[in-house]
Structure 1
């Protein structure tokens, strides 16, 4: 509680110029507001019940399984199909046509006719079609080295090698989780009003969580069928350390540009959470102990995080040094002083790298679920609200917005080849975003409007000779090519974190920064870039399985526990 001798401290959210830089967005970590954690908290708090309704899988891993979660009002079922895929047919590429397993999340409980229909369509993925009863479509491939090792070890009655499990972290990785109308599945609008799906991407997060349950059941069943007299199951603590891998490429990167209001709401919630924690005037013994424990566990998790990409290698080195520095600082820090979390944050802003600062943000939220978790309800968006352009806005007002939001773009020479080195376009074959080289590929007719900074400068130049009090409607009647830039500027004037404040078509663009920002909000960890354009991650590593959701401490899985942090 604040006392008469404790001066009131006003805490404001960080500015967009600080937060919305690609290097910082590419340093984000999962947090209490990540969508996986939001989902599991809701399922636990509302008493959702798990049921494995069907599991008909043979020794090769071929068959069908049905996993159902029963909620207060509705049930949802993962229908999983296992396949016998030849090694030469296994590929993580989006153009693949066969996978080790394919899935759909069904709205309700499927009957035999539903499963027969899905069995003919889901294994085809893009080649098939589904109905509005299906909420997502997905597929996954084995991580052959660990998958085969786990099955062989269990069949022999042994536990899998814990070091190998720690190094790899998953026995299957998804290569796509489609929702929101893809392939005929239910539109987002059709289910968005359901309470369980109000936060973003809850369908997809539920799908992946149930896929993880199926995958671990699959390896244990294959081991049992291979050697019924000797086979065992994975020890629970070790089992939880196996997540679901994912390979994510360029297709996800433009999402952050194409959904400015939604992205603003994600960032706004995260920044508000940080501001609320910094504004707490007194810590408690419980929050102090929790922070210290989470710091210890984060350092342990960092030891499991590996990458060969030079950018990530450098960031991991910075993060290790940062956490060492933070630990040393905490040993000499008195958290009983007024506004201890603000003091800690201000110290971190001065002494830690961007990677370390964003990890500190996540750690500061950990002990404060009571002031943070409710913000998850603010992270969705009605994006159609931003489509209508205010034609009465004056040219002067629009110029002011452009200067405020896109001021950084004035520092670039937009005529230089390196400033427009890349072109975003959509592949005709796969209908997926791609990134071309402007100087070497003739893509002008196919370019997507994914360069807000450049387009804002073009708009600003076009407005140069117009009177300040002229309404923008007249300008747009004569120059409709600028409508999208006017719309974005008006959105950004109301939603401060809507725009990335870097060049998204420059020669130095690292699309993996955009991928990591989005994936951190999903709750992914252990980012491992394989190039500047795609990344491997781990999802739900350490999380409870559906059958143990109500038996383990709530939301205590994001950082692996150690004896020192228990």
Structure 2
């Protein structure tokens, strides 16, 4: 590898931050699940199961402890005998097949007793600052029954059926950061293992996957007795944890502009860094070629019935065929191979294919890009302070720079403001409604930055250019949030979605996909334009298998035929 050569800058926000591209992003080396498994392996974390008290009906509790260099974390799991008619992935559900809390340390019997009275209730219960997250999960009923029946009869489950679903349980929420009495983010923010975002939540899901495997094997023994066999390790690894994610996640990336900027900027910096490489070694090109082949297998196993995703998958399959044919030449032996590849992809592939290439070129260069994961949290509280001395002209320039595309839209036209975000009274969860068909406008949440920026821009035109923005805000406090966001963009160029979040054609699943790709999710399966199912940790080694050799590339399936 030779680094000298041309300087490649990050891709422009106007290109990266369009919803269609955000909705085409894939996991990469900086995704939070992979950051966690790499850390646990490199630091030699130890895992134990001090408690597994589950009866033959599948009811009981278990504790899984992960011991790092400085402290321990424990998943406290509760298994329930849930009637089929009560099983629902909707946020309004009141019962689940399993519920969980991630405990800060190792829980005592008294802690487990306390949690047993609250964790199964989820929102209706209360936890304490000793708990770092709260979650719940439901079975994939048909696959669960198939796996239990197979193991109980002394057989392994059908791998094709495993791959069709991908998980035995799916979470419907993983709550952290102070919800329901759990510890605030500040409690863990300075810990080394929490420097990258969402590491606590990712650890909770990783341990949940182990509990699910152990529970299904326990149920097989309860049904089959001595005939029962455990899951073969290679089949067990194919199973991840599913997740059903709805509109509750979409406003997150609007409401956390600095944090989301840091995620995108880190990825774009990594891509730009690799594009600067003048020449690639044989090992680096071999790694890339291997992972392209494994990506072909992953996409072939990616199933969806949603027409939008079906179309995108068709394009992605063709993209990979085109990529494989292109790589058959000597492009990777030429000068600046990765820059050539990315530039070629921009005209030869769909956005899905382009973003997959952007992720894949990072894989041979962990030593260059992995450290960027420590830059992805948001610790810049000063960014939220409005600079009242900034001249009106400077604020107008910032709005124009970030929302030039929006200034040309007719915001009185129904198609550009067809929808409104609001919060449901029953569950205090975000919802998206039809502005002209439902009585929701008076409850609208400020989740339309583009529309609000245009309104602020128009109001600013009536003020002298050299006036301080503080004077404007004294007369127009309704524009404070827009001015704050405009000033943030000086430090955070990727802070704004450069698309309409309330238009008639807006697809909220694009926002969900963007966030979930940074988690490390794969096989996105939209069930409508407002919620999506994904799989997490499919292919990952279980705690007893985790080593530095298998801690990272597990996300790319290998052909075991």
Query: Shorter-chain TM-score: which interval?
Result: over 0.9
What displacement does 1:383 show? 4.9
Please show how residues 500-519 of structure 1 align to structure 2 within 5 Å: 500-519=497-516
* 1:521 aligns to 2:518 (yes or no): yes
What displacement does 1:110 show? 0.5
1:106 maps to 103
* 1:91 aligns to 2:88 (yes or no): yes
Deviations 1:14-73 (A, max 9, x none): 000000000000000001100000011111111110101111112221110000000111
Please tell me the root mean square deviation across aligned C-alpha atoms, in Å: 1.2
Paired residue total: 561
What displacement does 1:493 show? 2.4
223-232 or 525-534, larger mean C-alpha shift? 223-232
TM-score by length of 2: 0.99
d(CA) in 1 for partners of 2:184, 2:215: 31
Query: Aligned to 1:537, which of 534, 555, 558?
Result: 534
d(CA) in 2 for partners of 1:125, 1:563: 40
546-555 or 132-141, larger mean C-alpha shift? 546-555
2:419 maps to 422
> In 2, are the aligned partners of 1:151 and 1:223 still within 8 Å (CA)?
yes
* 1:273 aligns to 2:270 (yes or no): yes
Query: Aligned to 1:19, which of 16, 32, 39?
Result: 16
* 1:192 aligns to 2:198 (yes or no): no
> In 2, are the aligned partners of 1:544 and 1:552 still within 8 Å (CA)?
no
d(CA) in 2 for partners of 1:38, 1:523: 9
d(CA) in 1 for partners of 2:297, 2:228: 31
Please show how residues 146-165 of structure 1 align to structure 2 within 5 Å: 146-165=143-162
What displacement does 1:336 show? 2.2
TM-score by length of 1: 0.98
1:380 maps to 377
2:316 maps to 319
Structure 2: where are the runs of 5+ without partners? none
1:335 maps to 332
- Runs of 4 or more above 3 Å deviation: none
2:396 maps to 399
Please show how residues 449-468 of structure 1 align to structure 2 within 5 Å: 449-468=446-465
d(CA) in 2 for partners of 1:541, 1:535: 17
1:201 maps to 198
343-352 or 257-266, larger mean C-alpha shift? 343-352
d(CA) in 2 for partners of 1:2, 1:221: 53
d(CA) in 2 for partners of 1:51, 1:552: 21
The secondary structure found in structure 2 opposite 1:493 is coil
The secondary structure found in structure 2 opposite 1:406 is helix
What displacement does 1:385 show? 2.1
The secondary structure found in structure 1 opposite 2:128 is coil
What displacement does 1:227 show? 1.5
Query: Aligned to 1:346, which of 343, 346, 361?
Result: 343
555-564 or 22-31, larger mean C-alpha shift? 555-564
d(CA) in 1 for partners of 2:391, 2:400: 14
1:234 maps to 231
Residues 279, 247 of structure 1: CA spacing in aligned structure 2 closer, same or farther, 3 A cutoff?
same
Structure 1: where are the runs of 5+ without partners? none
> In 1, are the aligned partners of 2:42 and 2:548 still within 8 Å (CA)?
no
Residues 552, 83 of structure 1: CA spacing in aligned structure 2 closer, same or farther, 3 A cutoff?
farther
Query: Aligned to 1:298, which of 292, 295, 299?
Result: 295
What displacement does 1:151 show? 0.5
d(CA) in 1 for partners of 2:233, 2:408: 55
> In 2, are the aligned partners of 1:259 and 1:383 still within 8 Å (CA)?
no
1:210 maps to 207
What displacement does 1:189 show? 1.0
548-557 or 425-434, larger mean C-alpha shift? 548-557
Deviations 1:455-487 (A, max 9, x none): 001001101121111111101011111100000
